[in-house]
Structures are given as C-alpha cells and as structure tokens.
Amino acid sequence: MGRSRTGSGPAEDLLIELDREAGVALHRQIEASIRSGIRAGRLRQGASLPPTRTLATCLGVSRGVVVEAYQQLVAEGYLVSRSGGYTQVAAALPPPATLPAAAPAGPPARRVDFGYGRTDVSQFPRAAWLRSVRTVLTTAPNDRFVYLDGRGVPELHEALCDYLNRVRGTSAAPGDVVICNGYGQGVALLIQVLARHGARRIAVEDPSADDDVRVLARAAGLEVVGVPVGRDGIEVGELHGTDADALVLTPSHQWPTGGVLPASARAEVIRWARRRGAIVVEDDYDAEYRYDRAPVGALQGLAPDHVVYCGTASKTLAPGLRLGWLVPPPRLVGDLAEAKLLADRGSPVIDQLTFADFLARGEFDRHLRRMRPVYRRRRDALLSALRVHLPDLEPAGVAAGQHVVAWLPPDLDEAEVVTAAARHGLAINGVGPYRIGGPGPGGLIFGYGSLGERAVAEGVALLARAIGEVRRG
C-alpha cells in the first residue's frame, strides 16, 4: 500500500493512506480516511482541513479527486465549507449509519449544576482583551520576551498596585508583587516558602476549601488546624489556642459560608499575627462582586508586614487565564520569586502584559461594572426561588460573590438531600465535606455564577422536589 504523507502547511497534520492497487476509487479512499479520522477523534471538531489544492499535491492526485471527497463529506455532515474557501470538521458529528441499541436507563441527565467556582466565561470581554493583545504585540519591547525575574513583568506590577490600592485599600508597592498562575499556585509557593522559614502549623477556616491549602500544607510537612467559622467568619478567640505560624483566611467573603469578618475581628487577627510573628494569607478571591453593602478593604492594608494578599482573575475574568498575584511582606518577596522560577520559570509574559494593558485602559473596571448587575440578578433569582419553593432553608452570606450557602432545617440530612437532588438531575454540594473538626449544621452551596436566571429557578424547583421526596421518606 502506498502511503502518501502530505508535504507542507496544514496538510502535514492529515495522514491519508492511498492504495492505488485496491480497486477502490481514490476519492472514496480519501473520504473513508477522513470520516474514520473524525469518528475516532483524531480529527477534532472545528479543525481546519488543508486546502484541496494543497492536499491534492501532497497525495499526488488531481484536485478534482479531493474536491469530490470533501463535497461528499460536507453532504454527509462531517465537514462544513466556510466562506473564505476553507473546510472544517463539523461542530457536531452526524449519527452513525446504524444506530446502536438504546442505552439502558441510568440516572437522569444532569439538568442544573450549582457546582461552585464557575465564573460565566461566556461573558469574557474578548474584544477588549484582543485590543490589549494587539497593543502588546505591537508595542512591547523585545526585552520583555526573554526569561524574566520570577516576580513577573513590571508593567503588571504597576497596573495591579494602582488597581489594588485604589479599589481594595491595599498598601502595595510594585516591587513587592509576585505574579503567579492563579491563587492555586500562589498558595503552593507560599507554603513552600513558609515551611522553609520554619513554619510548622498552619490554621485554616473550618469549613474551607479542601483542595489546595490543606493538601499542599500536609505534603510540605505542616500540621493543619481548623479554626471554627461562625456567622461572621472565623471565631477569632479560637485562634489563640492554635499555636499556628500562619493563617489562611477569606475575610471579605468567607468560603463557603459567606460571612464578612467584622472590623473588630480583623484587628484581633492582626494583633494575633503580630504577637506570634505569624503570617496571614488573605485569599481575596471574589472581593470584586459585592451587591448589598459597601466593599470591605483588604486586611493587607492594615498590616502589610504580616499579611500576604492573594488575588486572582479566576472569578472576575476566567479561571482558564491562570492569572493570580501575591503581595507579600517585603521579607518574603525574594524567596517567593525564587520558588516561582523553580516551579515554571515564570508566568507567560504576553498574558501578563495584556492584563496590564487591560487594567491600565480601565477595561477591568468596565468589565466589573457590566458583570455586577448580571451576577446580582442571578443571586436575586436564587433568593426569590428559595423564598417561594423552600422557605425553610436559611440563605446566608448573600452579600457578595458568585455563591450562596443556605442552611437546612434540622429535620433534613445534608447528604440525603444532595443524593436525592442528584436523582432529580441537580448537582449541588453540601457544606459537610469542607468541614475539618466534625459534623455541623447541614447546608447547601449554590454556585450561580454561570447559570442564567431561568436555570437558577429550575434548579431550586428540582431541589424542592428532591427535598419533598426526602421528607416523604
């Protein structure tokens, strides 16, 4: 069998084997090869195919042979012709010629997902971001495209300080900012550095996220202790017994319970940190979305020597950007920059410069102004659906962010409700799995960031049905 490999350009990505002795027309062989490539996933949906002339040259056939193959596959729905004369793999596969036997009945397809951490990425400001990418590619000097200092690009340090000091009340100097790949990497670097500086025990909120700090700290040999969270964030009085060297905190919107740490408790946290020489890691993950009350300034502004401010673009723009920033006390900056270089030699420069330009043009502020009412409407839709369908659930922490916790009445078991909800096609998390020190009141976490108002209302109606079922036993 003669194997024709395409020559240059995009045709190189398309391997087609032609057998000139097979007695099968060449256009049929090309069709079959592309069809099976699409079915097997080797040619992904939306992928561009080589121009017919290029592919014909590479396969040593006339262009008409390739045109015929492409036309047949367009007619079958495998390919689409685009204006501009190029051909792509269709976005959805046509059904196979013979349908498989009906699948056995399983759990219902998921209809609504209240999973947390889903920013509405369909609202990503693509046009404005593109303007910034263009500006950067047109104007950035060559010396920005080399290996840089582990802290990142100076333009972003400047732009972030302007933004954070203006909007979050931080006290940040450009020389102290470290850019990282989201909060996840920032906190990983911090834990390494704190362990190297002799930290042995790290305190976290109970409940709190269970997927980064706890895992990373234990892996670094640190003991993790939980500080109970009440209605307004951690019970600061409990902090004193922890003997912790560091405390990870979400003071402006506790995750997941939504409390805002009051001024007196903030002052107490700072006093504790100063007395112990401890570090407070301030995870300011969703401070930008605040609906019912004036924003609360960052803790870092009160004690820049004891607080590491951590910010992220994951909630405001998109988690896929992997853009985050740390503002540590000056004594930790060098070690963090070194750890960042060791981890990955620095975050992608073009993204950093783009974000710097985006901030400096005021596009970030504009995007937040546009998104606040969008999330607020979703939050309002959630609260009114809860009032109508489930008035005995008690929403809390509703003033900010992209999620709400609602506490369950004592007759309802959290795990049972979560399981019953799944049976009704609703994905939702309980608070229980995020607890450290044992059971507490049952609660549900409603992430509404990426759900439209109708989906929010449908989700609550599904939950009401599930709860009705639980109650009927």
Ligand X SMILES: Cc1ncc(COP(=O)(O)O)c(C=O)c1O
| Binding region for ligand X (CB under 6 A) | 117, 182-184, 209, 250, 255, 283, 285, 312, 314, 319, 324
Euclidean distance between the first and the last CA atom of the chain, given in angstroms as a whole number: 67
Min dist CB 240 to ligand X, Å, is: 24
Concatenating the DSSP letter of every residue in 383-423 gives: HHHHHHH-TTSEEE-TTBTTEEEEEPPTTS-HHHHHHHHHH
Min dist CB 209 to ligand X, Å, is: 4
Cβ closest to ligand X, residue 245 vs residue 283:
283
Min dist CB 375 to ligand X, Å, is: 15
Cβ closest to ligand X, residue 10 vs residue 319:
319
Min dist CB 160 to ligand X, Å, is: 14
Min dist CB 311 to ligand X, Å, is: 8
Helix (H) or strand (E) holding 139: helix 126-139
Burial class of residue 287 in the structure, from the number of CB atoms within 10 Å of its CB (0-12 exposed, 13-18 middle, 19+ buried):
buried
Question: Which residues does 189 contact at the CB level (< 8 Å), separation at least 6?
Answer: 178, 180, 326, 336, 339, 340, 343
Min dist CB 450 to ligand X, Å, is: 13
HSE-CB for 317 with a 13 A CA cutoff: 22
- SS3 at position 272: helix
Cβ closest to ligand X, residue 319 vs residue 440:
319
Please give the structure tokens belonging to residue 355: 């974000």
- SS3 at position 5: strand
- SS3 at position 369: helix
Q: Are β-strands 246-249 and 201-206 bridged in parallel, bridged antiparallel, or unpaired?
A: parallel
Min dist CB 313 to ligand X, Å, is: 7
Residue 465 to residue 81: CA distance in whole angstroms: 46
- Paired with 112 in beta bridges are 426
Min dist CB 184 to ligand X, Å, is: 3
Min dist CB 8 to ligand X, Å, is: 40
Cβ closest to ligand X, residue 314 vs residue 429:
314
Contact criterion met (CB below 8 Å) for 306 and 275:
no
Cβ closest to ligand X, residue 171 vs residue 181:
181
Cβ closest to ligand X, residue 174 vs residue 184:
184
- Alpha-carbon distance values, 404 to 305, 398, 440 (Å): 33, 6, 17
Residue 390 to residue 69: CA distance in whole angstroms: 58
Min dist CB 316 to ligand X, Å, is: 10
In the bound complex, which residue of the shown chain has the CB atom lying closest to ligand X? Answer: 182
Question: Which residues does 35 contact at the CB level (< 8 Å), separation at least 6?
Answer: 73, 76, 78
DSSP code for 432: G
Min dist CB 187 to ligand X, Å, is: 8
Closest CA to 370 of 124, 161, 133: 124
How many C-beta neighbours within 10 Å does residue 439 have? 8
Cβ closest to ligand X, residue 35 vs residue 340:
340
Question: Which residues does 139 contact at the CB level (< 8 Å), separation at least 6?
Answer: none
- Alpha-carbon distance values, 166 to 277, 333, 365, 401 (Å): 28, 22, 11, 20
Cβ closest to ligand X, residue 56 vs residue 209:
209
Cβ closest to ligand X, residue 78 vs residue 434:
434
Cβ closest to ligand X, residue 70 vs residue 183:
183
Cβ closest to ligand X, residue 285 vs residue 375:
285
